[in-house]
Amino acid sequence: MPVLSQRVPDLDSLELLIAVATTGSLGRAAAARGISQPAVSARIQRMERLVGLALVERTARGSALTPAGALLADWGRDVLSAAAVLDAGITSLRSGRDRRLRVAASLTVAEHLVPHWLVSLATGHPETAVSLDAVNTAEVVRQVLQGEADLGFVEGPGMPAGVNGRIVATDQLLVVVPPGHPWSKRPRPVTAAELAATRLVHREPASGTRNTLENALAAYAPLATPLLELSSTSAVRAAVYAGAGPAVISSLAVRDDLSSGRLVQVDVEGVDLTRALRVIWPAGQRPVGPARDLLAITRRG
């Protein structure tokens, strides 16, 4: 890759030299550029020291470029033209970036938190097209690392490898059963050991909910064989409704079910089922454009 010489003037200096050539006067060039004549003279002198050649002749009739200055101005026009093309291309790329936002979110966050944030984003940026992919935590991380998502929202006990991020909310996992289940009228809490030994209706292993539960009950591993493994929170809730067995589900997902009596929360002692909900992006990068704006919205809650 070619390295630019330290004798190459900057774009603003080239534009100034061309202005002197066009107007034939340092004063008129200064007026055209909106700066003082002494400032123009000082810039020309710095450019002459940089290239090591006289570029402008000062005469009683005005200012004219020397042969070297005229040649540099001709080359400078080509450089400025190429810079204009580059600037237009960068503007086009930024415009395309700012017109879309790709978000991947784990199911709990996608269903209960992200929609509120996206409505706020749309209010301030109606021109931005947003896509939301609701998948499990492992898939969110993959999409962010592969550049398929601009931002990701995940659940789980820790920060995934290869990404930066921050906590946007906390969530409590709850043990729930249908009203007729023996645990629904239990006079004392279920212990962590009992929970680990019970066959539960689970989310799939790659989900943030499953990872959080397994991490919380790691002292009792191996856990009981799952009664069912289902790929969505809605499917887990439906299985519990049908009487399949207990499940561990986000409080965000079962709030209405608990208040209506469709499900019953079972107290658990000896285990912390609190988890962090995080927004993530690739390590070493900073969210820009709509991704940066959405990140700001999550800070406001």
Question: What digits encode the pLDDT tens for the residues 225-264?
Answer: 999 999 999 999 999 999 999 999 999 999 999 999 999 9
Query: Cβ(104)–Cβ(123) under 8 Å?
Result: no
Task: Report the relative pairing of strands 247-250 and 151-156 from DSSP bridges.
Answer: unpaired
pLDDT exceeds 90 at position 17: no
Does the pTM surpass 0.75? The reply is no
- What gap in Å lies between CA 184 and CA 91, rounded to an integer? 61
Q: Which of 79-83, 110-114, 161-165, 288-292 has the lowest mean pLDDT?
A: 79-83
Q: For position 191, what pLDDT does the model report?
A: 95
> In this structure, how many other beta carbons lie within 10 angstroms of the beta carbon of residue 100?
14
- What gap in Å lies between CA 192 and CA 196, rounded to an integer? 6
Sign for the pseudo-dihedral over CA of 160, 164, 166, 169: negative
Q: Which amino acid is at 31?
A: A
The full set of domains in the chain, from first to last, is: 11-96 (1.10.10.10), 100-301 (3.40.190.290)
Query: Cβ(204)–Cβ(135) under 8 Å?
Result: no
Q: For position 34, what pLDDT does the model report?
A: 81
Mean pLDDT to the nearest integer, 270-277: 92
**φ/ψ (deg, to 5) at 222:** -75, 145
Q: For position 90, what pLDDT does the model report?
A: 66
Mean pLDDT to the nearest integer, 207-234: 92
Question: What digits encode the pLDDT tens for the residues 118-177?
Answer: 999 988 888 888 999 999 999 999 999 999 999 999 987 788 899 999 999 999 999 999
**φ/ψ (deg, to 5) at 52:** 80, 25
> In this structure, how many other beta carbons lie within 10 angstroms of the beta carbon of residue 48?
18
- What gap in Å lies between CA 212 and CA 107, rounded to an integer? 14
Q: Which of 30-39, 88-97, 193-202 has the lowest mean pLDDT?
A: 88-97
Residue 1 pLDDT level (bands cut at 50, 70, 90): very low
C-alpha closest to that of 263 among 278, 286, 244, 282: 244
Query: Cβ(291)–Cβ(98) under 8 Å?
Result: no
> In this structure, how many other beta carbons lie within 10 angstroms of the beta carbon of residue 166?
13
- What gap in Å lies between CA 236 and CA 177, rounded to an integer? 11
- What gap in Å lies between CA 131 and CA 184, rounded to an integer? 40
Mean pLDDT to the nearest integer, 279-298: 92
Question: What digits encode the pLDDT tens for the residues 34-90?
Answer: 888 888 888 889 988 988 889 888 877 778 888 888 898 888 888 887 887 777 666
